[in-house]
Amino acid sequence: MDKNEIINLDIIDNGMNFEGIARLDNKVVFVPYAIKGEKVKAKIVKNTNNYLLAEIEEITKKSKYRKQDICKHFDGCGGCVGMHIDYAKTLDMKKEIVKNVLKKQGLDSDLVNEIYGMGTPYNYRNKVQYPVRRMKNKNVMGMFSEKSHKLIEVTDCSIQDKEINDVAKYMFECICNKNIQGYNEEKHIGDIKNIMVRKGINTGEILCIFVCANKDIVNSKQMLEVCNMLKYKYSNIKGIVANINDKKTNVILGNKNIVLYGEDRIKEKIGEKTYYISTNSFFQVNTIMAEILFSVLKDKLKLKKEENLLELYSGVGTIGIFLSDLVKEVYGAEIVQDAVEMAKKNVKLNNIKNTKYILGDASIEIEKLRNKGKHFDIIVVDPPRKGLDTKGIETILSLKPKKIGYVSCNPATLARDLSILSKEYTIKSVDLFDLFPWTKHVEVVTTLELK
């Protein structure tokens, strides 16, 4: 089988990235954008000892789940991998992905409940980050194609909030009009690397961020004029920030922020609670589904007023603050200083008296609390994609809380961690939430009780 050879394939399954899976001469073939049950003619683009990668040339038998009303940027962007599939079917596929990773760890996949999906799975993101590059003597704004630094011009991403799209486009127009240069990665020159917009979906407040490769542009007359244009056009812009990132790096944001107008943060509401969101804050990108997730977590934990709750990987305190009315005390531990400072501001903003966030290594800070006689009935964790580290699991097992709420954005690392925790804990429920429609991602909430 040679590269560029055309082959006929029956798609027998879909993988974790929604890619079609076939078999040919006992070798697995991965076919992006093919759907289980389809027959395709495909061109081989890669042949390794273990698998083939092929691209669809023609679909000879279409799946009933294939749909046509897709984003105009779908083919090149790579941000969404499932927009060619009926939405209800994508939810089923995500559920199967979670069940399969649990099975691989020897866990009971029947514990997986139905997945919570969106009624209208478009325009849900409350944050956008568009790269801005200088290409062929003009500025270009868009998205990088999947697994590459090839920039695809994107004007109307269909999963971003509509106003966020409009503001980002206008920010781009303003810098072009004022002859502010996009970034050239090869030469490491230019003024603006990224345009970023954050919005409080329930408050309407907007924060505009220019990620600057050139510090001199920040205080220039051009940038002042850009700020004035933005303020004039959008009355709900609460802040305009210049984030300084002059290093050669794939990391989007630098560590230094300069406020050009207003404040360095906006407010957002989830349920009855209000939160500050700043340039560098982590905050769930789907506000609507985040509220559903937090509400289900609250119900599944069956919280009591005499219980103490510990939030690990607490970030800006989103979950702990949401649950604080239902327990005696909330403590949060986080190693990122900016996040802890924002968490403390969020506590004050909501006038909460029973919640405290601590900066430092969780295992050390918790030991200090234990030495003062504090105990924890419930632990809630929302770790990054890599899941819990060894120290995190050891901390949980040493505290022996009655209940654990584990919020995960990566089913594979969740299943790995549950296989360890399940030696001491009974898994009570596994609920899925589609915070990222049309992408491969799914959020999972698992509750556990001490055996």
Question: Where residue 35 sits, what CATH number does that domain have?
Answer: 2.40.50.140
Q: State how far the alpha carbon of 70 is from the alpha carbons of 19, 35, 122, 144, 150, in Å.
A: 17, 15, 11, 18, 21
Average pLDDT in the 66-77 region? 81
**In-domain check, residue 351:** yes
pLDDT digits (tens, 9 = 90+) for 90-111: 999 999 999 999 999 999 999 9
In a shared domain, residues 313 and 445: yes
Band of residue 224 on the pLDDT scale cut at 50, 70, 90? very high
Average pLDDT in the 182-198 region? 94
**In-domain check, residue 99:** no
pLDDT digits (tens, 9 = 90+) for 109-135: 999 998 999 999 999 999 999 999 999
CATH of the domain at 170: 2.40.50.1070
**In-domain check, residue 203:** yes
| Predicted local distance difference test score (pLDDT) of residue 1 | 74
Give how far the C-alpha of residue 303 lies from the chain's centroid of Cα atoms, to the nearest Å: 27
* Residue 339 domain boundaries: 104-117+285-450
In a shared domain, residues 263 and 307: no
Number of domains in the chain: 3
Residues 6+ apart with CB under 8 A from 318: 270, 275, 283, 284, 290, 294, 346
The answer on pLDDT for 147 being more than 70 is no
For residue 373, give the amino acid letter.
G
Domain boundary among 241, 270, 299: 270
The answer on pLDDT for 72 being more than 90 is no
In a shared domain, residues 257 and 307: no
**In-domain check, residue 132:** yes
- Specify the DSSP element, H or E, that contains 390: helix 390-399
- Specify the DSSP element, H or E, that contains 198: strand 192-199
In a shared domain, residues 251 and 291: no
**Catalytic residue set:** 409
In a shared domain, residues 154 and 110: no
In a shared domain, residues 140 and 239: yes
Average pLDDT in the 71-75 region? 79
| In contact, 429 and 413? CB cutoff 8 Å | no
Distance (Å, whole) CA 343 – CA 333: 10
**In-domain check, residue 85:** no
Phi, psi of 36 (to 5 degrees): -50, 130
Distance (Å, whole) CA 340 – CA 360: 9
Q: What angle (nearest 5°) sits at the alpha carbon of residue 176, between those of residues 174 and 180?
A: 100
Q: Determine which of 17-26, 65-74, 323-332 has the lowest per-residue pLDDT on average.
A: 65-74
**In-domain check, residue 382:** yes
pLDDT digits (tens, 9 = 90+) for 329-376: 999 988 888 889 999 999 999 999 999 999 988 888 888 888 888 899
The answer on pLDDT for 227 being more than 90 is yes
The residues that bridge with 138 in the sheet, in sequence order, are 135
The answer on pLDDT for 428 being more than 90 is yes
Indicate whether this model's pTM tops 0.85. Answer: yes
| In contact, 124 and 158? CB cutoff 8 Å | no
Distance (Å, whole) CA 152 – CA 59: 25
In a shared domain, residues 239 and 294: no
The full DSSP string for 1-66 is: --TT-EEEEE--EE-TTS-EEEEETTEEEEETT--TT-EEEEEEEEE-SSEEEEEEEEEEE--TTB
Average pLDDT in the 208-225 region? 96
**In-domain check, residue 133:** yes
In a shared domain, residues 161 and 188: yes
Phi, psi of 260 (to 5 degrees): -95, -25
In a shared domain, residues 265 and 138: yes
| In contact, 29 and 10? CB cutoff 8 Å | no
CATH of the domain at 391: 3.40.50.150
Beta-carbon-side half-sphere exposure of residue 448 (alpha carbons within 13 Å): 27
pLDDT digits (tens, 9 = 90+) for 254-300: 989 999 999 999 999 999 999 999 998 889 999 999 999 999 999 99
Distance (Å, whole) CA 342 – CA 263: 14
Q: Which of 277, 273, 335, 266 is nearest to 298 (CA)?
A: 273
